[in-house]
Amino acid sequence: MATSNELRQERAHLLTQARDLNEAAEAEKRDLSVEERVTWDKYMAEVDALDARIARQEKLERTPATDPEKAAFELRRGLEIAANPQERRKSARALPEYVSAFYRWAMDGPDSITPEERSILAAGRVGLGPNEARALSSMLSPGQIRALGITSLTAGGYLVPETLEGSVEQAMSWFGGMREAASIISTDDGQDLQLPTSNDTANTGRRLAENTTLTQTDPTVGLRTWRAYMYTSDLVLVPYQLMQDSIVSIEAWLTNLLGERIGRAQNTDFTLGTGIDQPQGITLASVVGRTGATGQTTTVSGDDFIFLEHAVNKAYRTGPGSAWMMHDQTLRDVRRLKDGDGQYILRPGMTEGVPGTINGFPYIVNNDMATMAASARSILFGKLTKYIIRQVRGITMVRLNERYADALQVGFFAFARADGGLLDAGGNPVQHYANAAS
């Protein structure tokens, strides 16, 4: 297994090759040829893949394996083996008790496992994360599989193991970019959430002459409301045969599939929503900070980044949370921009744990943002953590055992309640670059 340093060296080598390719074209004052573009895109795709590998490897290197973690690993490995018939046959001697118990629970529900199997699964609880440990405790409790409700065991038809919620949350965070950028507030119910705002930036103190009455100057105070809009994944029907044969891991498959469906819908609204009966998108909540010069309908310059950066008040440019956001195709073009000294404005992170930056600020890819086109709001900058995502509890997974039983199918769907909006007291913490209209 390659170390994080070895992976970073490989990444640096790829970036050097990409820069050499681009600089050769710039020296000849021409654009990249079709073949050069294909090669350049290949280098960049490999760099992106290495970024993900480096992040995973660094996390492993920072977290030494302990005996409890080994137990948790065995439990997770049991599910992987249970999901693959060939693996089950090959692993007859490896984790047979975990495999049998976990497989029976995943496919047939908690009533299908014996007290002995519950004890076997409980032994792997040490070393699991908080969500996994709570989920394991709930799955070990006897009861009908259709009776696990949102808050307690009721005759409802819900299956809500927190392992699914945690995995779906991860899929949503990775998918779009908004959850990576925003601040997230979780609540136990869907009542309106109100956050106060205050704008006193126009007021200053004053000199006071002797025996002079004080002047009353009150700050501007307001309230911003977040609601709880319902999002669903749509229904997926799974045949009994597939549940029993377990050619794939039903849990993992549905977790990713349904989570990404909700993730796509929410990320689009958090980016582009109108704020009317839906979340307020960060793009529409932002104000214009820089407009491209005539002719820049599909381009941006290094100077535009400087102007946009300084359009945002310095109070919102300091500290964590200040970042750029753009579509991946926009990032592709930005990677080729140079400053007046011939240096690329996008500087890749070469130090452990430090991401790439543009003018010293990190960037976030969000493919729901507009690509560069006439009048497009193609680049955001500012205190992106001022965008608040409010979610109610988390993801709820619903299993319909009886409704489709006559067709020998089980129904699954997921739902989540959330809202999003920019917490702006009037300081315009997030602003955008708009491409020229013509």
The owner of tokens 């209209």 is 437
Tell me if 410 sits within 8 A of 205, measured CB to CB: no
Query: What is the pTM assigned to this prediction?
Result: 0.63
Q: Which CATH superfamily is domain 146-198+219-438 in?
A: Major capsid protein gp5 (3.30.2400.10)
Break the chain into its structural domains and give their ranges.
Answer: 4-62, 146-198+219-438
Helix, strand, coil in percent for the chain, rounding step 5: 45, 20, 35
Average pLDDT for consecutive 10-residue bins of the chain (438 residues)?
Answer: 79 86 86 85 86 79 52 48 45 48 55 65 48 45 31 29 41 68 92 89 88 88 92 90 69 78 94 96 97 97 96 92 95 90 80 74 94 97 96 85 87 93 94 97
Q: Which two tokens stand for residue 178?
A: 């908004």
DSSP reduced 3-state for 407: helix
Q: Give Cβ neighbours of residue 287 (< 8 Å, ≥ 6 apart).
A: 428, 430, 431, 432
Rounded CA-CA distance 283/411 in Å is 36
Say what the pLDDT of residue 219 is.
Answer: 83
User: What pairing do the DSSP bridges indicate for beta strands 430-434 and 377-383?
Assistant: antiparallel
Q: First CA to last CA across the chain, in angstroms?
A: 52
Say what the pLDDT of residue 369 is.
Answer: 96
Say what the pLDDT of residue 169 is.
Answer: 42
Tell me if 303 sits within 8 A of 310, measured CB to CB: no
